[in-house]
């Protein structure tokens, strides 16, 4: 008989561990050994598993590496686990059993704390009549200490049509940006959400200290939904309460805004945050957002390239006897080539293969160490542009590049690789129908320009 009253242990087929007391567990009461900590579910922390270095050949349903074999249950409903049935690759030592017991106690304590945290959440399905008491959440210094960290890399102010416009607000453009950013941060703070991981509004979240309810926007609906109206109006009221104290004003705000204006800020914050939620939760919104982001990046690159070339337009025009005003006009950002940082969508080419192809076109080293530090932009070809126009743009761009200092050239991050890949069509008219039927613009000076220019601009 086992000295705790259990039946004798069957012959062990495993490597024995030095004799010791069996480990007694009662799964009905949730206790383990002599400690009364609640025992829950889930695998043990990986740090314990790594310190024990158990055999990977023996794993239970939870991924534990030690095989714990139970003996027949005793009369009181508990089970006994013979310590001789624990299989380890580590040396046979009493400390192994000590570590196992410590691991189980730590796991039980961690799960006990998790269960306590979960009990704080009153999980029930809300309806439109739920009264979210927002104001008390941020009143007082103690409540401010509970606010979440909002520096998550997510842009809270997005300059688009949903954000407050300076002309509509009576504020300067900078003040409108400051107020909008402050309002969006207040929205996050009141809802206690950082980033785009917004909780399901079907679960009511409460403050464990004050028992106040945290509101969760219903992003499945628009800002005119009754539940969302209640939330953004509560946010607006909280912002107005904070702005009563001049010490709380964000830096850059010079005048106290009207309440109606702050409500507009709260609505714009809702729409901005909803876009982040949509990207993560709605497939077609994510695809649209990615397409919009891609088009925005290409537009920014064209604008930056246009600005650089316009800076030296006067010098280039003087060298080639061109009209500077005309040259600046044809260097408009919308006339320049798109530059992309990856393979064409819908092809089987991977990003790695595209990078190798770009390096090969530039006759660069194809060693992995060299490619790892290299960055490329593939310069697309607009199908509507003539060869003469292409030569002119290329000549101006080379002229700008030659005007840079050695340090400025080194600071250029991307290698630009012109290819035959065409820009996607974005203009519904066929310009070739009457191309060449219009007279040459007055005083353009193009008659003096060679048909083709080399890299030196000659």
Q: Does 457 fall in a domain?
A: no
Q: Is the pLDDT of residue 245 over 60?
A: yes
Q: Is the pLDDT of residue 23 over 90?
A: no
Q: Domain boundary residue among 281, 312, 337?
A: 281
Least confident residue range of 67-71, 147-151, 243-247, 433-437: 147-151
Q: Does 1 fall in a domain?
A: no
What percent of the chain lies above the pLDDT cut of 90?
Answer: 17
pLDDT-based confidence at residue 458 (cuts at 50, 70, 90): very low
Q: Does 124 fall in a domain?
A: no
SS3 392: helix
Least confident residue range of 146-160, 164-178, 327-341: 146-160
Q: Where are the alpha helices (DSSP H) in 192-311?
A: 226-243, 259-281, 283-311
User: How far is the CA of 198 from the CAs of 180, 203, 278, in angstroms?
Assistant: 20, 11, 10
Q: Does 165 fall in a domain?
A: yes
Q: Does 12 fall in a domain?
A: no
Q: Domain boundary residue among 119, 154, 183?
A: 119
The predicted pLDDT at position 187 comes to 92
In degrees, to the nearest 5, what angle opens at C-alpha 89 toward C-alphas 85 and 92? 70
- pTM over the 0.75 mark: no
Q: What are the structure tokens assigned to 69, written together?
A: 């074999």
In degrees, to the nearest 5, what angle opens at C-alpha 302 toward C-alphas 320 and 408? 70
Q: What is the mean pLDDT of the chain?
A: 69
Q: Is the pLDDT of residue 435 over 50?
A: yes
**Same structural domain, 266 and 374:** no
Q: What are the structure tokens assigned to 415, written together?
A: 């290698």
Least confident residue range of 60-74, 165-179, 351-365, 413-427: 60-74
Q: Is the pLDDT of residue 131 over 60?
A: no
Phi first, then psi: give them for residue 214, nearest 5 degrees: -85, 125
Q: Is the pLDDT of residue 129 over 80?
A: no
Q: Is the pLDDT of residue 341 over 50?
A: yes
Q: Give the tens place of pLDDT for each residue, 375-416.
A: 999 999 888 888 888 889 999 999 999 999 999 998 899 999
The predicted pLDDT at position 117 comes to 58
Tell me the C-alpha distance between 309 and 302, whole Å: 11
Least confident residue range of 72-76, 148-152, 210-214, 265-269: 148-152
The tally of domains found in the chain comes to 3
Q: Give the tens place of pLDDT for each residue, 170-214.
A: 677 888 888 898 889 989 998 988 887 888 888 888 888 888 888
**Same structural domain, 152 and 259:** yes
**Same structural domain, 27 and 77:** yes
Tell me the C-alpha distance between 85 and 68, whole Å: 6
Q: Does 7 fall in a domain?
A: no
Q: Is the pLDDT of residue 55 over 70?
A: no
Q: Give the tens place of pLDDT for each residue, 109-122.
A: 777 666 655 554 44
**Same structural domain, 403 and 294:** yes
**Same structural domain, 189 and 214:** yes
Tell me the C-alpha distance between 187 and 242, whole Å: 13
Q: Does 454 fall in a domain?
A: no
Least confident residue range of 34-48, 84-98, 241-255, 402-416: 34-48
Q: What is the mean pLDDT of residues 127-148?
A: 37
**Same structural domain, 294 and 433:** yes
**Same structural domain, 115 and 76:** yes
Handedness of CA 280, 282, 285, 286 (dihedral sign): positive
Angle between helices 173-191 and 226-243 (to 10 degrees): 110
Q: Is the pLDDT of residue 62 over 50?
A: no
User: How far is the CA of 282 from the CAs of 163, 188, 267, 289, in angstroms?
Assistant: 22, 21, 21, 10
**Same structural domain, 198 and 244:** yes
Q: Give the tens place of pLDDT for each residue, 80-111.
A: 444 444 344 444 455 677 777 777 777 777 77
Kindly state the helix (H) or strand (E) to which residue 31 belongs, with its residue range.
strand 31-32
Top-ranked range on mean pLDDT: pick from 76-80, 187-191, 252-256, 282-286: 187-191
pLDDT-based confidence at residue 309 (cuts at 50, 70, 90): very high
The predicted pLDDT at position 118 comes to 53
**Same structural domain, 214 and 258:** yes
**Same structural domain, 275 and 386:** no
**Same structural domain, 271 and 351:** no
Q: What is the mean pLDDT of residues 25-34?
A: 39
**Same structural domain, 156 and 272:** yes
The predicted pLDDT at position 4 comes to 47
Q: Is the pLDDT of residue 63 over 50?
A: no
Strand 79-81, strand 376-381: pairing: unpaired
pLDDT, greater one: 324 or 427: 324
| Full domain range(s) for residue 101 | 23-119
Q: Does 126 fall in a domain?
A: no
Q: Domain boundary residue among 236, 255, 281?
A: 281
| Residue 273 backbone zone (phi > 0: left; psi -120 to 50: alpha; other: beta) | alpha
Q: What are the structure tokens assigned to 372, written together?
A: 């790892």
User: How far is the CA of 445 from the CAs of 138, 276, 390, in angstroms?
Assistant: 67, 50, 17
Strand 205-206, strand 339-340: pairing: unpaired
Tell me the C-alpha distance between 24 and 134, whole Å: 50
Q: What are the structure tokens assigned to 273, written together?
A: 């945050």
pLDDT, greater one: 3 or 358: 358
């Amino acid at each position: 008989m086992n000295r705790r009253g259990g039946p004798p242990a069957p012959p062990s087929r495993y490597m024995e561990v030095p004799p010791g007391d069996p480990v007694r567990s009662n799964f009905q009461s949730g206790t383990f050994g002599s400690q009364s900590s609640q025992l829950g579910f889930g695998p043990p922390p990986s740090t314990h598993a790594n310190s024990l270095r158990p055999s990977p050949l023996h794993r239970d349903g939870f991924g534990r590496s030690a095989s714990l074999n139970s003996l027949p249950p005793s009369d009181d409903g508990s089970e006994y686990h013979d310590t001789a049935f624990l299989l380890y690759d580590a040396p046979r030592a009493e400390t192994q059993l000590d570590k196992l017991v410590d691991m189980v106690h730590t796991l039980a304590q961690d799960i006990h704390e998790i269960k306590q945290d979960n009990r704080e959440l009153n999980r029930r399905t809300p309806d439109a009549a739920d009264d979210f008491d927002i104001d008390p959440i941020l009143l007082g210094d103690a409540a401010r200490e509970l606010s979440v960290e909002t520096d998550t890399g997510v842009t809270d102010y997005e300059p688009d049509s949903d954000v407050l416009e300076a002309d509509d607000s009576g504020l300067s453009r900078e003040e409108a940006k400051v107020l909008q950013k402050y309002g969006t941060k207040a929205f996050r703070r009141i809802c206690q959400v950082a980033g785009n991981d917004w909780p399901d509004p079907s679960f009511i979240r409460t403050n464990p200290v004050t028992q106040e309810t945290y509101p969760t926007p219903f992003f499945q609906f628009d800002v005119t939904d009754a539940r969302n109206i209640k939330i953004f109006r509560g946010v607006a009221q909280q912002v107005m309460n904070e702005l009563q104290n001049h010490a709380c004003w964000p830096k850059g705000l010079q005048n106290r805004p009207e309440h109606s204006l702050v409500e507009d800020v709260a609505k714009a914050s809702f729409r901005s945050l909803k876009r982040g939620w949509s990207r993560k939760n709605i497939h077609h919104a994510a695809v649209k957002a990615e397409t919009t982001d891609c088009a925005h990046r290409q537009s920014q690159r064209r604008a930056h390239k246009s600005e650089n070339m316009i800076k030296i337009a006067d010098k280039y025009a003087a060298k080639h006897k061109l009209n500077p005003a005309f040259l600046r006009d044809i260097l408009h950002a919308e006339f320049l080539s798109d530059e992309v940082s990856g393979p064409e969508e819908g092809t089987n080419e991977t990003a790695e293969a595209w990078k190798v192809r770009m390096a090969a076109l530039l006759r660069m080293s194809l060693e992995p160490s060299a490619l790892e530090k290299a960055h490329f932009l593939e310069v697309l070809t607009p199908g509507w542009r003539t060869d003469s126009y292409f030569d002119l743009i290329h000549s101006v761009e080379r002229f700008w590049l030659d005007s840079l200092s050695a340090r400025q050239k080194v600071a250029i991050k991307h290698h630009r690789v012109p290819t035959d890949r065409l820009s996607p069509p974005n203009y519904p008219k066929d310009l070739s129908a009457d191309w060449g039927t219009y007279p040459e613009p007055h005083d353009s000076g193009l008659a003096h320009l060679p048909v083709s220019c080399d890299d030196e601009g000659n």
